[in-house]
Chain A
């Protein structure tokens, strides 16, 4: 297991390197620069600023400088948030994004797994069809549509929940963003759970459990849930990635001061180091989470442990 983990960690290095180089080139290829404003700066001033941030150097040299900074754990200074380093900005925004993301994942797992299981047990029934149509809808509608519609309905019309973030009291402000983020994941997890539960319930060992008189509840809990969760577990990697990218939109819509908002601002402002820093941070996070998922896979399925 340890060897496997080390192996996977080493394998992540080229992936990460590729992400860094591609992201670096793409950010720099975008038209405009961090210090372009509506009113052009005097050429001497612009030249001074560019020299201070090494933007006047050849691209390859800048990339080398950036990577060597990364190796020292330094994501560099933000170009637009003066006096802040990128690391500090991530430290400011990420805790809130993490909190909302985790809540969304938990909600998605709870609702998705239970509704998927119920649908599988009553395969072909009205209930099954209702759950599955909801799931299909949830998958089809993008976050940037769901978010404003929910705000319009629940916050503006019915006034049950706050529409924005700042000034809203307590826990209520979390509800809409978390639901918006979780909805497509609920839908996907419900469908996955249903399909894999149906598959597992058709296996011979479930027939054995029935022959032992264990009853549906025990069969699901003891025999079926664990194997049926394997596909859901594999999906956790992509799901977390989807929630992270989804949070960019959701934070913008609800005005949440999380990492997603920094990301959007960074991109609009051509804040090279900030955008790069967040991309690398997210990429590392996603690679690490996928590794954890793979390790958990071995915990659930004893047969893959010694491979």
Chain B
């Protein structure tokens, strides 16, 4: 008998089935991955196992766990199974943990509820668990509120809550999607290490995560289970067309085409830029320190780094959206004024921006036609309404949306369509430079591919220069000519894409590459290459900012700032760049 047997499971909201006749099993101790794009029904399936779907969902079919039928149990009856036999880790620990309760209290409540421990004994158990999931100083974290912990630490607390009752099955629903890659690697390692003989059902959109970590895979598409089998055989010989499509869209950091360096003339230069903020307690927080970069015509320059590395602050500073504390921006031979409102109309139209989340970047009360045409009202005030409409239609056409989209509202668009609209709005003024801030991070693999291709086409046709901010190294590898790596507000390495990936010179670059999961079961996942997390900008480390996390750090590294040095075509900020073989 299998641990979990799901038979003919269907989940409906009204008339539409979001999970449609799905059947699968999970054996004791086995690790099974569920992969699929957004809306494929993978999370709905997971939630239905624990009876956690909202009240308006109707569930039919059978869910047998350890011989018991769960599908017809009441909420109260399921409470005995929850946490005790099946634990679950959710995606975003900021939302999934109660912000009003101390961490220790939230965990202790689980033990009290299931009568596993009481009083001081429960506190002890919780602290031990916090230690096991790798929280430093469990005594102190026991009394911390979730917002006082970093994202990675919060997810460790979430994992602690899922395994504290030692369940037989652990469900992890996109457990690392909200985290940085280096932290993602740590969390995946932790799951692997702690689960022992607990079965794991790992739900993700990222084939790289399941490739090295799950024995079997279930591929979901549009609510249906379209393929299942051993991970290795699915990757080597997929039988379903959708699986093939998913595999084809999965980018990897170790192979695939790389774009040759762009040789155009320089269009934009950033000299010694620094950006700082004042936080709530009025302390100065330096987000970007002394960064110099240049961008060539028809070049895509990627900026990569973990959250808090200053990549978004840098581009906001150069766009004039936030003040720069020092440094200057030179565009087309002219120095750009600081605040954007002091720049000339021509300068403003030449630099455009696209954001990560298209749904919140488009005004929900405006039709696509108005959204895309709005920049023309400012920059081409003399244009007639008909001419404007025509140029909106033609730019939409270019991004692959026909005229039927003109009258739609943003909520009537899919994620990919909405991002195309955002791109159309940015491109309608024919800018010279486009800044993409995590512009494809929220998109599914196949849609991402289309959007990247679109940007590529525009670049080829118009010579557009692109600054591409991303945390995803596989994407960066496929789109960029050059890459700038940032850490804690500083530039640590700038190199052409080919040499950056084949011979990274900064230990941090190496760690980022290693932390990116490779969608190939034949490549063993590297265990987390970096310990710890990005330190606070309020108290940056002395010397080389990376030294506390660097495995190659020597005594000197904590005392002296390395500064950028040239190595061939690259610039690297590391004391040991010339001796390390990374």
Q: Is the CB of B96 within 8 A of A204?
A: yes
Is there contact, CB below 8 Å, between B96 and A205?
Answer: yes
Q: Within 8 Å CB of A209, what residues of B?
A: 98
The answer to whether B350 has its CB under 8 Å from any CB of chain A is no
Note all chain B residues with C-beta closer than 8 A to A226. Answer: 100-101
Name the distance in Å between A201's Cβ and chain B's nearest Cβ: 11
User: Is the CB–CB distance between A211 and B83 below 8 Å?
Assistant: yes
Chain A residues closer than 8 Å to B84, beta-carbon distance: 213
Contact of B52 among A211, A300, A301 (CB under 8 A): A211
Which residues from chain A contact B261 at a C-beta distance below 8 Å? none
A218 at interface, CB cutoff 8 A: yes
Asked whether A214 is an interface residue with its Cβ less than 8 Å from the other chain, the reply is yes
Tell whether, in the assembled complex, residue B79 and residue A215 are in contact, meaning their CB atoms are under 8 Å apart: yes
Interfacial chain A residues near B75, Cβ < 8 Å: 210, 216
B532 part of interface (Cβ distance < 8 Å) = no
A300 to B100, CA, bound (A): 7
Contact of A213 with B81 at beta-carbon distance under 8 Å, contacts A204-B90, A302-B100, A302-B147 already known: yes
Judging by beta carbons under 8 Å apart, are B147 and A212 in contact? no
Q: Does A82 contact B (CB under 8 A)?
A: no
A217 to chain B minimum Cβ distance, whole angstroms, is: 10
Q: Is the CB of B52 within 8 A of A210?
A: yes
> Which of B107-115, B197-205, B427-435 participates in binding chain A?
B107-115
Asked if A8 is at the interface of the complex by the 8 Å CB criterion, the answer is no
- A302-B147, A303-B147 known; A214 and B113 CB under 8 Å? yes
Q: Using Cβ atoms and an 8 Å threshold, which residues of chain B touch A307?
A: 280
**Which A257-289 residues sit within 8 Å CB-CB of chain B?**
none
Q: Would A211 and B97 be within 8 Å (CB), given that A303-B145, A306-B280, A306-B281 are in contact?
A: no
Q: Using a Cβ–Cβ cut-off of 8 Å, how many residues does chain A contribute to the interface with B?
A: 24
Question: In the complex, what residues of B have CB within 8 A of residue A173's CB?
Answer: none
B92 contacts the other chain (CB 8 A): yes
CA distance A205 to B154 in the complex (A): 13
Task: Report whether B79 and A223 are in contact in the complex, using a CB–CB cutoff of 8 Å.
Answer: no
Contact, CB under 8 Å: B79 / A302: no
B50 interface residue per 8 A CB criterion: yes
Given known pairs A214-B110, A227-B100, the reply for A203 and B95 (CB within 8 Å) is: yes
Contact B110 A205 (CB under 8 A): no
Contact with A along B250-293 (1 / 0, CB 8 A): 00000000000000000000000000000011000000000000
Contact partners of B88 in chain A: CB under 8 A: 211
Chain A: minimal CB distance from B100 (Å)? 5
Cβ of A207 under 8 Å from chain B: yes
A208 within 8 A of B: yes
Which single member of A208, A212, A303 contacts B113 (CB below 8 Å)?
A: A212
> Interface on chain A toward B: helix, strand, loop, or mixed SS?
helix
CA–CA, A31 to B99, complex, Å? 57
A110 at the interface (CB under 8 A from B): no
Q: Which residue of A lies closest to B105 (CB)?
A: A222
Output the least CB separation between B171 and chain A (Å): 9
| B145 contacts across to A, CB distance below 8 A | 302-303
The docked-state distance in angstroms from the alpha carbon of A148 to that of B114 is 54
B537 located at the interface, meaning its Cβ lies under 8 Å from any Cβ of chain A in the complex: no
Set of chain A residues within 8 Å of B359, measured between Cβ atoms: none
B383 is an interface residue with CB less than 8 A from chain A: no
Give the distance in Å from the alpha carbon of A216 to the alpha carbon of B109 in the complex: 13
B280 contacts which chain A residues (CB < 8 A)?
306-307
Q: Which of chain A's residues have a CB closer than 8 A to the CB of B101?
A: 222-223, 226
Interface centre among A209, A226, A300 (most CB of B within 10 A): A209
| CA–CA, A207 and B158, complex, Å | 13
Chain A residues within an 8 Å CB radius of B99: 205, 227, 301-303
Name B98's contact: one of A211, A223, A300, A306 (CB within 8 Å): A223
Smallest beta-carbon distance B98→chain A, Å = 4
Q: Which residues of B contact A (CB under 8 A)?
A: 50, 52, 75-76, 78-84, 87-88, 90, 92, 95-101, 105, 109-110, 113-114, 145, 147, 158, 161, 280-281
Name 16 interchain pairs, CB-CB below 8 A, sorted by A.
A205-B99, A207-B52, A210-B82, A211-B87, A211-B90, A212-B82, A212-B109, A213-B81, A214-B79, A214-B109, A215-B113, A223-B101, A226-B100, A227-B99, A301-B99, A302-B100
Give residues in A with beta carbon < 8 Å to B: 203-205, 207-216, 218, 222-223, 226-227, 300-303, 306-307
10 shortest A-B CB distances, which residue pairs? A213-B82, A204-B95, A213-B79, A205-B98, A212-B83, A302-B145, A213-B83, A208-B96, A211-B88, A212-B110
